[in-house]
Amino acid sequence: MTTTTALGTARPVARATAEPVVRIRDLTKRFGGAVALRGVSLDIRPGEVHALMGMNGAGKSTLVQLLSGAYQADGGTIEIEGSDRPGLTPRRARRLGVCTVPQRRELVMALTVAENILLGDLPASRSLVSWKSVERQARQALRRLDIDIDVKRTAGELTVAEQTMVEVAREVRRGGKVLILDEPTACLGAAAADRIRALVRTLRDEGVAVVYISHYIDEVLSVADRITVLRDGSVVHSGPAAATDAAGLVRHMVGREVVSRRPERPAPSPAVALTVRGLSHGRDISDFGVQVRAGEIVGVLGPAGDAQSRLFDLLSGRRRPDTGELEVGGTAVPFGRIPRSLASGLRCVTGDRRALGLIPGLSLDENLMLATDRLGGRRLQRRSDTTRRAAPRRESYGVVSLTRNPAVGSLSGGNQQKVLLAKWLETSPVACFLEDPTNGVDVAAMADIHALIDQLASRGVAVLLASSSAEEVMRLSDRVIVVSAGRVVAEHEVSAITHDELVATALKGHAR
Amino acid sequence: MSITAPPETPATKNPTDGARTAGPFRRLSGVPHAGLIAVLIAVIVFAGVETDSFATSTNLVNVLRQVSVVAVLAAALTLLMTAGGMDFSMGSNAAVTTAVAAQFLADGRSTAFTVIVSLLLATAVGLVNGLVVTYTDVAPFVATLATATLLDGVALLVLDGLSVSIGDHLSALGGGKTLGLPNLLIVAVLVLLVVGLVMKFTVFGRDAFAIGGNEHVARLSGIDVNRRKLVLYSLAGALSGLAGLMLLSRLGASSPGTGGLQLQLTAVASVVIGGTMLAGGFGTVVGTCLGVVLLGVVANALNLLQVSSYFQQISVGAVLLVAAIANQLHKKSSPH
């Protein structure tokens, strides 16, 4: 997702001389029997982008939560600006200038940008709000960080990238000296991610200490001054970004080499298993067509939020397109009817597992068996029985949980994604539509998921893969369709095109 | 405690949530409904010490007999609210049922005819609620509040403003006993038990959790959400009808103001005190039972203490608030 643009910029080097604003020493944290952090030490300096990397469950989130006061450490110290701060609470951390911008946006969506930036601090004389002054101050806060957003727009109508920027501006205005950004570019397109990275560089130049959490290795290498890698709750690597490379980082994170290479798959059968013709829906998608043979993987590549991200709603039956035809395994399937879509053997796996994929309050096993049990017309359900039937899926999809059968909402993103895939791919599909199947998962989980998709195609399932990542499409697909602004702009056999050519095609389409 | 139906025991949830708050209820956090049970015990001990008649078996059985009607309504409501639904018209539906059944019996119709027709009528009312909520996207709160008002009026219309006695019809249900226990209580316990088992052991029950948890996902997973909702609202209607008949059999007459929104609010309060989420996705019948009993015990204790009726209402409200707060503190201190 990140390598579709030129990332490199000159990185000022000799900044490490500044006194650390946060000094973390021997921090430990246990949750029940599980050790989340075992003696982590870290220095965070002003004017430096400090990237925190690690697999899902390596301890990044725990570290951030200790630093922001959400949890108390079991051992070790956190020094902020030279003095030890035991018993940190979120409020106190914020007052000391440690601010977090979490993955999920925390804006009041119905209020304007200006109100959001000044939330809790509206300038008022004799309890009457002076709107002129609100807007002026909000504009100032944005301008200071070179952000160009109209302060009168409501937060809900901003793009995700813009919402992130507003949130960052708010924290900086409140006096944030240490800004923790948790995967700020997840789910963003290349252009939007670029804007966020530019903002991070501005913050650094303003003298803010930025703690940057990201799974994207190229991005981290381009934006970070210093990289710390956590594995199993310990620091396994910490040093200047210039002194390491992608392969080294992966080795540190995973503890072994990770190979996600195209395996030899049996040639697709000549029978077409999934046909889409003339699919049009408003301005989102127009005249989209594809034929996928059994055992074939066809990638649909486009900028995040483009035509490929509408396919889930249309193919799953959630929405009825304006025009179009769908055939699965040779039989026509009407649009706009979820039961018919399911009955045809088409399985659509969403890229938005929170909203459309899993039921967070239900247990892991129940989520795993949710679709299977309903499609199989089951009537009775016993917990022990569900657990027994779900066990092979946990095993083959590598879902790990600390407790026996937790609510699925409490699992890490990578695990949730595996549960989502297992839920659908084990329901004997004829054809599968997968949307961003490795969204927000770490490198090892990504390799596992890629292997699972390979196996799926090897079993003779037609796979249509929608993605905004050129790497993923190159790694998995036999053919790739490039979409831009709702239209198909190119179609290639993957064997006949290089990664760079593909990226160039995608960008060219974007420019038109 | 076999009929509780949480997704899993709260004690073994994600450990990262475990250390968030160490509240005063920390040690009890493994016990479901600990806050509620504590309040219930406090009320019972207080009433037992302060009055002589509270702790007699006659009185306790009488309390349980009195709460039977609310218990049946609350059982249906627990299932419906777990599925993210809401029905404010159940008490009014029960009122219409008592009125219609009383008129039938007063007209000399047979008991069997009366029971069957009034149950069918109540189910039909529930189905109409379901159709409105499912196919028009009107919020259940609004739609059923409207039908509640409407049905309250219908009940008055059917009774023509007069009290209608049913003689000794239905007395086997209202006054009879089996093995020393009032039949009303037995019916209520059976209903609670069946709803509890359905919620835990049937796919229909689990569908309710899925729909309440995330309706989109439920739909995409092949659950016929619309049909499920219709069944759930019809079930709520049918059990309202049953509650209406139980009420009629206990009172021996239907008068203006029997049942209605007041009865409904007691049922909603019991369910919410019992920990079922208003937003859906979580609910337990055991919690509902505790909520029903708590409200019943408080009302009874205040009666025995000869507290003036004004103070009774104030006290019931206060207990409600305390129970809800205890529940919330307990929920917060439990992991997840």
Q: Per the domain annotation, does B1 fall within a domain? A: no
pLDDT digits (tens, 9 = 90+) for A182-230: 888 776 767 778 888 888 998 899 889 999 988 788 888 889 999 999 9
User: Is residue A31 pLDDT above 90, yes or no?
Assistant: no
| Position A17 confidence tier, pLDDT thresholds 50, 70, 90 | low
- Is residue B5 one of the residues assigned to a domain? no
What is the per-residue pLDDT for B244? 94
Task: Give the gap in angstroms from C-alpha B210 to the nearest C-alpha of chain A.
Answer: 7
| Reported confidence tier of residue A415, pLDDT bands at 50, 70, 90 | confident
Query: What are the pLDDT digits (tens) for A477-490?
Result: 999 998 887 888 88
pLDDT at res. A260: 66
Are B237 and B129 contacting, i.e. CB atoms less than 8 angstroms apart?
yes
Stated as kind and residue range, the H or E segment containing A42 is strand A34-44
What per-residue confidence (pLDDT) applies to B249? 92
Which residue has better confidence, B1 or A456? A456
Query: Among partner residues B19, B203, B214, which is closest to A378 by beta-carbon distance?
Result: B203
Q: pLDDT tens digit string along A353-401? A: 888 999 988 999 999 999 988 888 888 888 889 999 999 999 888 888 7
B8 assigned to some structural domain: no
Alpha carbon distance B204, B153 (integer Å): 34
The residue with tokens 């039938």 is B104
Per-residue pLDDT reduced to its tens digit, A35-92: 888 889 999 999 999 999 887 778 888 888 888 888 888 889 999 888 888 888 888 8
Q: What is the largest CA-CA distance in chain A?
A: 77
- Look up residue A213 and give its two tokens: 């959490």
Where b means 16+ CB within 10 Å and e means fewer, B293-326 reads bbbbbbbbbbbeeeeeeeebeebbeebbebbbeb
Show the domain range for B171. 31-333
Q: What is the pLDDT of residue B311?
A: 82
> What does pLDDT average to in each consecutive run of 10 residues of chain B (336 residues)?
39 39 48 82 90 88 92 96 94 94 90 93 95 91 93 91 84 81 93 95 93 92 93 96 94 86 89 86 92 91 86 79 74 51
Q: Is residue B280 part of a domain?
A: yes
Inter-chain touch B213–A360, beta carbons under 8 Å:
yes
CA A473, CA A480: separation in Å to the nearest integer? 7
Contact A348 B18 (CB under 8 A): no
> Is residue A80 classed exposed, middle or buried when 0-12, 13-18 and 19+ CB atoms within 10 A define those classes?
buried
Distance from CA of B8 to the nearest CA of A (A): 7
Q: Looking at residue A486, what is its pLDDT?
A: 81
CATH value at residue B225: 1.10.3470
Handedness of CA A140, A145, A149, A151 (dihedral sign): negative
Amino acid at A473: V
**What is the pLDDT of chain A when averaged over all its residues?**
84
Residue-wise pLDDT for A158-171, tens only, equals 887 888 888 888 88
Counting the structural domains of chain B, the total is 1
Asked, for residue B18, whether it belongs to a domain, the answer is: no
Show which residues on chain B lie within 8 Å of chain A, measured between beta carbons: 7-8, 12-20, 200-204, 206-207, 209-210, 213-214, 216-224, 281-282, 336
Chain B residues with CB-CB distance to A339 below 8 A? 222, 224
User: Is B15 a member of any domain?
Assistant: no
ipTM for this model: 0.78
Residues A358, B218 contacting (CB under 8 angstroms): no
Using CA coordinates, name the residue in chain B closest to A32: B15
Q: Rounded to a whole number, what is the distance in Å from the CA of B19 to chain A's nearest CA?
A: 7
Residue that has been written with the tokens 């226990």 in this structure: B181
pLDDT beyond 70 at A507: no
Non-local (6+) Cβ contacts of B312 within 8 A are: B299, B302, B303
The beta-carbon neighbor of B7 closest among A61, A366, A378 is A366
Check: CB of residue A110 under 8 Å from CB of residue A154.
Answer: yes
C-alpha triplet B259, B188, B228: angle, nearest 5°: 85
What would the pLDDT profile of B23-66 be if each residue is shown by its tens digit? Answer: 444 455 567 788 788 889 998 999 899 888 888 888 988 899 98
Q: What is the mean pLDDT of residues A4-21?
A: 54
CA distances from A343 to A186, A276, A357, A456 (A): 33, 17, 18, 19
| CB within 8 Å of chain B, chain A residues 384-443 | 402-407, 410-411, 423
- The better pLDDT of the pair A341, B29 is held by A341
Tokens 């203006």 locate to B256
Task: Answer whether A366 touches B (CB < 8 Å).
Answer: yes
Kindly determine whether residue B281 and residue A361, on different chains, have CB atoms separated by under 8 Å: yes
Residues A324/A314, Cβ–Cβ less than 8 Å: yes
Quote the pLDDT of residue B333.
54
3-class DSSP state of A303: coil
Domains of chain A listed by start with CATH number: 22-97+176-254 (3.40.50.300), 110-171 (no CATH), 272-362+428-511 (3.40.50.300)
Contact A411 B14 (CB under 8 A): yes
Contact of A36 with chain B, judged by CB distance below 8 Å, is answered with yes
B201 contact residues in A (CB cutoff 8 A): 380-382
* Token pair of B180 as six digits: 């020393």
Residue A108 in this model has a pLDDT that exceeds 80: yes
A457 to chain B, any CB pair closer than 8 A? The answer is: no
Task: With CA atoms as reference, report the closest residue to A301 among A433, A475, A467, A495.
Answer: A467
> DSSP states of A406-455 as a string?
-BGGGS-HHHHHHHHHHHHHTS--SEEEEESTTTT--HHHHHHHHHHHHH
B172 lies in some domain: yes
A358 CB neighbours in chain B (<8 A) are 214, 217
**B14 lies in some domain:** no
Closest CA to A377 of A313, A316, A335, A427: A427
Q: How confident is the model at residue A346 (pLDDT cuts 50, 70, 90)?
A: very high
pLDDT confidence band for A424 (50 / 70 / 90): very high
The predicted model scores a pTM of 0.78
Cβ within 8 Å, pair A407-B222: no
CA distance A61 to A51: 13
Interface of A with B in 315-354 (CB under 8 A): 316, 318, 338-339, 342, 348, 350
Q: Which residues contact A140 (CB under 8 A, 6 or more apart)?
A: none
Q: Tell me if residue B5 falls in helix, strand or coil.
A: coil
Interface test with A, best of B204, B216, B220 (most A CBs within 10 A): B220
Model confidence over A244-282: pLDDT tens digits? 888 888 888 877 766 667 777 888 888 899 999 999 998
List of chain A residues whose C-beta atoms are within 8 Å of the C-beta of residue B20 = 70-71
| CA A339 – CA B290 distance, rounded (Å) | 40
A34 in B contact zone (CB under 8 Å): yes
Q: Cβ contact (<8 Å) for B214 and A342? A: no
Given the structure tokens 């919020």, which residue do they identify? Answer: B139
Structure tokens at A56: 């899902």
For position A168, what pLDDT does the model report? Answer: 86
- B96 with B264: CB under 8 angstroms? no
Distance from CA of A71 to the nearest CA of B (A): 6
Residue of A nearest to B277 (CA): A361
Mutate to test the interface with A, among B12, B16, B21, B29 (most CBs of A within 10 A): B16
